[in-house]
């Protein structure tokens, strides 16, 4: 044969030979994905030159990760999280114009639907934590308030656990609620200040964190999904200013633009509006959504 | 802060920020591995810009691969095989001086110990396939024959199955044998010509091959591990010349230097030596091992 393309496997041309095996993939996107995967995976292997024992360790690690996955535990998502891949995919898919609220990862605890609740009602059914009002306004990027927007909220309690992690301890749907904004785009609800918490660290991902001297913690935060007509939905958190681990979130979810203080408010009229005793703790978080620009149909 | 190093996660600096999280890893090799993994993994994600659905597909695929792994099936090894990673790791770990026999992958079927057998005995206990003599000489790289070298042989039968794949059909330890070379470094045994076969393709790796229009087959081969005192052990195959799939082994295991013909020999004296009827089929494969050079102790 007089072709210049390498046809047999060799260390030098391994990526080219393997990529070529995907040349007949009918779906062009799958072909692109596999070709790029092979290129980067072989570059990684050539970079580190693993021993056969290290390769076997990698196989065993991935096998352990897979074996731990079930309906309530997704260890591959945790692995993606602690390697920053989840946040990178989020960043790529939610590039924002300036002014719109930043997104962050969904996380693994939005596994049940939040119950619809009235504005001002409490989502803390176990009263575990410091009482706090959570309030804000949903606006479009030009500043227009968005009445009737839906705000889905879920969080850990004052001990750092979600309801689904403690089905025998916490009431069902504790610290979850779905709220509709009022005529001025405002939402408000009663809750507790969440605590920082460790991601599940009793599996292979936890062992990886231990071996690399990384802690498993996420700083205190409330999850929010905000949706309004003709606007792109937003999945984000508000982080509690002053929480431990704000500068070292183990899943890299923190953006400075999402950190807000819990303030102590001494204002009898506002306390009465929120149906709490004065003074009270307040976490304020305004949300700015991007309008979806649709071309008019011809 | 006036540091120039990025401290918060961003799309642009994602790899740097995540790599920095591994900075305190005590084991320098683990730190090197994780840093390189993060660099290449993030480069891959930035290259393909996956949608969130594609990321979820990847999580689901890896989870399926993990769930299929058990004591008799290693789907992550298959994935490593069809992506050429196993062969690349083999190539990196067994760079050979010219003249020594090339290595190739161990494969997943060396899961039981081969029984010790006398030179000339048969390993085909089910007589499924065309009878064939397999013979060769084990030598050191300077040409010196290596008496008392151990040659471990295993293969599929004439239908393309290993004994461990058909425990109810094939006799135990069918087509496996451990032989010691004679005073001239020679080995010979009776067997059958193996058939090409598909790797297990009823799982997620098989679905990947189907989706990318790749076949799951390996060309016909006999596995060999050769060991001799003061020499580096060798794990390799001899491939049957003319077999289908020699140019498209789905695990990229073929090296041209390892392909040998099955010839028909008409030689009554040799037939008598091999205790077969004349004429007979012969597959010859000489094996050249590298001496281990040890420095004398001071």
Per residue in A213-239, pLDDT (tens digit) is 999 999 999 999 999 999 999 999 999
Q: Using CB atoms, which residue from B80, B91, B212 is nearest to A22? A: B212
Quickly state the pLDDT bin for B108 (edges 50, 70, 90): confident
Count structural domains, chain B: 2
More confident of the two residues A111 and B273: B273
In this predicted structure, what is the pLDDT of residue A295?
Answer: 63
* Residue with token string 């770990």: B93
- Residue A164 pLDDT more than 70? yes
CA distances for B53 relative to A169, A192, B56, B238, B284, angstroms = 34, 34, 5, 44, 53
Residues B158 and B239 in one domain: yes
Express each pLDDT in B219-228 by its tens digit: 999 999 999 9
Are B189 and B117 in contact, with CB atoms under 8 Å apart? yes
Arithmetic mean of pLDDT, A168-175:
95
Residues A37 and A169 in one domain: no
Arithmetic mean of pLDDT, A17-28:
97
Arithmetic mean of pLDDT, A36-56:
98
In a mutational test of the A interface, the residue from B89, B95, B246 whose CB has the highest number of chain A CBs within 10 Å is B89
Residues B184 and B270 in one domain: yes
Q: How far apart are CA A76 and CA B31, in angstroms?
A: 21
- Residue A4 pLDDT more than 90? no
In a domain, B238, yes or no: yes
3-state SS class at B120: coil
* Residue with token string 């008409």: B266
- Residue B75 pLDDT more than 50? yes
Per DSSP, what are the bridge partners of residue B220?
Answer: none
Residues B25 and B132 in one domain: no
Residues A45 and A120 in one domain: no
Nearest residue to A115 via CA among A148, A154, A162: A154
Quickly state the pLDDT bin for B3 (edges 50, 70, 90): very low
DSSP B195: -
> Given CA atoms A30, A36, B76, B154 in this order, what sign does their dihedral have?
positive
In a domain, A241, yes or no: yes
In this predicted structure, what is the pLDDT of residue A1?
Answer: 39
Residue in chain A nearest B52 by alpha carbon? A89
Shortest distance between the Cα of B96 and any Cα of chain A, in A, equals 12
Quickly state the pLDDT bin for A51 (edges 50, 70, 90): very high
Least confident of B103-117, B183-197, B252-266: B103-117
Per DSSP, what are the bridge partners of residue A154?
Answer: A176, A223
Q: How far apart are CA B228 and CA B290, in angstroms?
A: 10
Please give the interface size between A and B, counted as residue pairs whose CB atoms are below 8 Å apart: 207
Shortest distance between the Cα of B115 and any Cα of chain A, in A, equals 26
Residues B26 and B169 in one domain: no
Are A19 and A38 in contact, with CB atoms under 8 Å apart? yes
Per DSSP, what are the bridge partners of residue A284?
Answer: A135
Least confident of A133-137, A268-272, A289-293: A289-293
In this predicted structure, what is the pLDDT of residue B8?
Answer: 80
In this predicted structure, what is the pLDDT of residue A297?
Answer: 54
- Listed in sequence order, the residues at least 6 apart from A207 whose beta carbon sits closer than 8 Å to its beta carbon are none
Residues B45 and B147 in one domain: no
Q: How far apart are CA B80 and CA B87, in angstroms?
A: 9
Are A11 and B255 in contact, with CB atoms under 8 Å apart? no
> Given CA atoms A66, A72, A76, A78 in this order, what sign does their dihedral have?
negative
Arithmetic mean of pLDDT, B87-112:
89
Express each pLDDT in B16-66 by its tens digit: 999 999 999 999 999 999 999 999 999 999 999 999 999 999 999 999 999
Q: Mapped to the 3 state alphabet, what secondary structure does chain A carry? A: CCCCCCCCCCCCCHHHHHHHCCCCCCCHHHHHHHHHHHHHHHHHHHHHCCCHHHHHHHHHHHHHHHHHCECCECHHHHHHHHCCHHHHHHHHHCCCCCCCCCCCCCCCCCCCCCCECCCCCECCCCCCCCEEEEEEEEEECCCCECCCCEEEEEECCCCCCCHHHCCCCCCCCCCEEEEECCCCCEEEEEEECCCCEECCCCCHHHHHHHHCCCCCEECCEEEEEEECCCECCEEEEEEECCCCCCCCCCCCCCCHHHEECEEEECCHHHHHHCCCCCCEEEEECCEEECECCCCCCC
Express each pLDDT in B126-146 by its tens digit: 999 999 999 999 999 999 999
3-state SS class at B150: strand
In this predicted structure, what is the pLDDT of residue A147?
Answer: 98
In this predicted structure, what is the pLDDT of residue B112?
Answer: 84
Domain extent at residue A135: 81-289
* Dihedral angle of Cα A279, A283, A286, A287, to the nearest 10 degrees: -150
In a mutational test of the A interface, the residue from B6, B15, B16, B59 whose CB has the highest number of chain A CBs within 10 Å is B59
In a domain, A40, yes or no: yes
Q: Using CB atoms, which residue from B17, B44, B91 is nearest to A84? A: B17
Share of chain B above pLDDT 70, in %: 96
Residues B161 and B116 in one domain: yes
Residues A163 and A220 in one domain: yes
For residue A188, the domain's CATH number is 2.60.130.10
In a domain, A58, yes or no: no
Q: Are strands B259-260 and B234-240 parallel, antiparallel or unpaired?
A: parallel
Express each pLDDT in B240-265 by its tens digit: 999 999 999 999 999 999 999 999 99
Q: How far apart are the first and last CA of chain A?
A: 56
CA distances for B75 relative to A281, B87, B89, B106, angstroms = 53, 16, 17, 15
- Residue B172 pLDDT more than 90? yes
Nearest residue to B187 via CA among B163, B232, B222: B222
In this predicted structure, what is the pLDDT of residue A201?
Answer: 94
In this predicted structure, what is the pLDDT of residue A97?
Answer: 79
- Residue B1 pLDDT more than 80? no
In a domain, A63, yes or no: no
Express each pLDDT in A235-266 by its tens digit: 999 999 999 999 999 999 999 999 999 999 99
Q: How many CB atoms lie within 10 A of CB A156?
A: 25
In this predicted structure, what is the pLDDT of residue B97?
Answer: 79
Nearest residue to A153 via CA among A100, A117, A101, A183: A117
Three-point CA angle A149, A153, A154, nearest 5°: 165
* Residue with token string 């001086």: B97
Residues B166 and B31 in one domain: no
**Could you tell me if residue A148 is left (phi over 0), alpha (psi between -120 and 50 degrees) or otherwise beta?**
left
Quickly state the pLDDT bin for B2 (edges 50, 70, 90): very low
Quickly state the pLDDT bin for B99 (edges 50, 70, 90): confident
Say yes or no for a CB contact (<8 Å) between A33 and B48. Answer: yes
For residue A14 the two structure tokens come to 């391994």
CA distances for A110 relative to A2, A276, B288, angstroms = 58, 28, 60
Residues A100 and A242 in one domain: yes
In a domain, B210, yes or no: yes
In a domain, A259, yes or no: yes
Say yes or no for a CB contact (<8 Å) between B8 and A254. Answer: yes
- Where helices occur in A83-163 by DSSP H, the ranges are 85-93
- Residue A190 pLDDT more than 80? yes
Q: Using CB atoms, which residue from B9, B37, B92 is nearest to A87? A: B9
For residue A120 the two structure tokens come to 């001002």
- Listed in sequence order, the residues at least 6 apart from B204 whose beta carbon sits closer than 8 Å to its beta carbon are B61, B64, B65, B68, B75, B79
Residues of B in Cβ contact (< 8 Å) with A26: 213
In a domain, A239, yes or no: yes
Residues B228 and B279 in one domain: yes
């Amino acid at each position: 044969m007089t072709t210049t393309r390498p046809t047999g496997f060799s260390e030098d041309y391994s990526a080219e030979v393997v990529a070529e095996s995907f040349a007949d993939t009918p779906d062009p996107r799958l072909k692109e994905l596999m070709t790029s995967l092979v290129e980067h995976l072989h570059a990684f292997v050539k970079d580190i030159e693993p021993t056969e024992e290290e390769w076997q360790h990698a196989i065993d690690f991935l096998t352990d990760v897979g074996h731990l996955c079930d309906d309530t535990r997704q260890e591959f998502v945790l692995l993606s999280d602690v390697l920053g891949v989840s946040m990178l995919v989020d960043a790529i898919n939610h590039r924002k114009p300036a002014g719109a609220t930043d997104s962050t990862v969904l996380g693994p605890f939005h596994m049940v639907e939040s119950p619809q609740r009235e504005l001002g009602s409490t989502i803390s059914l176990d009263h575990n934590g410091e009482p706090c009002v959570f309030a804000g306004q949903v606006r479009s990027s030009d500043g227009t308030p968005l009445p009737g927007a839906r705000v889905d909220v879920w969080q850990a309690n004052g001990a750092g656990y979600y309801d689904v992690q403690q089905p025998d301890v916490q009431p069902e749907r504790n610290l979850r609620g779905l709220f509709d904004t009022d005529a001025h785009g405002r939402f408000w609800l009663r809750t507790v200040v969440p605590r920082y918490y460790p991601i599940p660290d009793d599996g292979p991902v936890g062992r990886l964190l231990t071996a690399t001297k990384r802690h498993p913690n996420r700083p205190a935060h409330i999850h929010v999904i905000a949706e309004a007509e003709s606007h792109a939905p937003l999945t984000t958190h508000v982080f509690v200013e002053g929480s431990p681990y704000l500068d070292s979130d183990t899943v890299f979810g923190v953006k400075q633009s999402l950190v807000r203080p819990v303030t102590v408010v001494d204002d009898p009229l506002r306390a009465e509006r929120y149906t709490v005793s004065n003074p009270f703790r307040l976490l304020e978080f305004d949300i700015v959504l991007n309008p979806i620009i649709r071309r008019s149909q011809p």
